[in-house]
């Protein structure tokens, strides 16, 4: 069993990374393998809408996307984390999710003719567990959180939740101070419990 955390923040060891790594550490305590992936060091171009993946079952753009996509496919659970910039997730995370969604659907399905209807075979992510984490100094969480939830639900994930939305409040004055967010840490702890519980139930 393995859970990966994908950090969309451009800051090294910033607040978003703190919450993701904390959650991964709690999951690791249950005996599940974990891995943190920082997008800040990765080259991920935006989707070009070329539809190459429909036939080739692969993305035509060759960059760091393929390595991350393969890790997403192999994982049992995925945590997505992003700071909130203008009420949105970061561009690099959005680029990753756009391409992963497109390729993930066509890896499991074929394009139908104009007069045919779709009976989807799921996606490459069907049955995997996922959860979003957003971080903001004060406001803007809802839209960014919803962006990731919408991506998860359209890609046939099983959503893990906590006893409150998985949001962190940190970064006043640009500070890296997520460790002071006691409520946020408790939320992430329970999120880790739920992710672990769901994955272990699915593996029975």
pLDDT tens digits for range 56-79? 999 999 999 999 999 999 999 999
The mean pLDDT value for 22-28 works out to 98
Beta bridge partner(s), residue 168: 135
Residue bearing the bigger pLDDT, 89 or 107: 89
- pLDDT score, position 108: 84
Q: If one looks up domain 2-111+118-202 in CATH, what number appears? A: 3.40.50.360
User: Residue 157's pLDDT is what?
Assistant: 97
C-beta of residue 16 within 8 angstroms of C-beta of residue 7: yes
What are the extents of the domains in the chain? 2-111+118-202
Summarize pLDDT for 122-155 with one digit per residue, the tens.
Answer: 899 999 999 999 999 988 899 999 999 999 999 9
134: alpha, beta or left? (left if phi > 0; alpha if psi -120 to 50): beta
Specify the pTM: 0.94
What does the block give as tokens for 142? 């809802």
pLDDT of 112 higher than 80: no
Residue 114 has a pLDDT of 65
């Amino acid at each position: 069993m393995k859970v990966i955390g994908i950090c969309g923040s451009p800051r090294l060891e910033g607040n978003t990374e703190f919450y993701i790594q904390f959650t991964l550490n709690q999951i690791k305590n249950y005996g599940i393998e974990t891995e943190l992936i920082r997008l800040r060091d990765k080259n991920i171009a935006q989707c070009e809408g070329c539809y190459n993946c429909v036939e080739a079952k692969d993305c035509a753009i060759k960059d760091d996307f393929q390595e991350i996509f393969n890790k997403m496919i192999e994982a049992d659970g995925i945590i997505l984390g992003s700071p909130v910039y203008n009420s949105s997730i970061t561009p690099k995370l959005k680029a990753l999710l756009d391409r992963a969604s497109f390729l993930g659907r066509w890896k499991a399905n074929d394009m139908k003719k104009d007069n045919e209807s779709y009976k989807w075979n799921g996606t490459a992510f069907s049955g995997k567990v996922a959860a979003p984490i957003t971080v903001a100094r004060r406001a803007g969480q809802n839209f960014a959180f919803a962006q990731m939830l919408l991506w998860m639900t359209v890609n046939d994930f099983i959503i893990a939740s906590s006893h409150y939305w998985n949001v962190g409040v940190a970064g006043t004055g640009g500070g890296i101070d997520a460790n002071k967010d006691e409520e946020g840490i408790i939320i992430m702890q329970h999120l880790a419990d739920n992710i672990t519980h769901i994955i272990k139930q699915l593996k029975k």
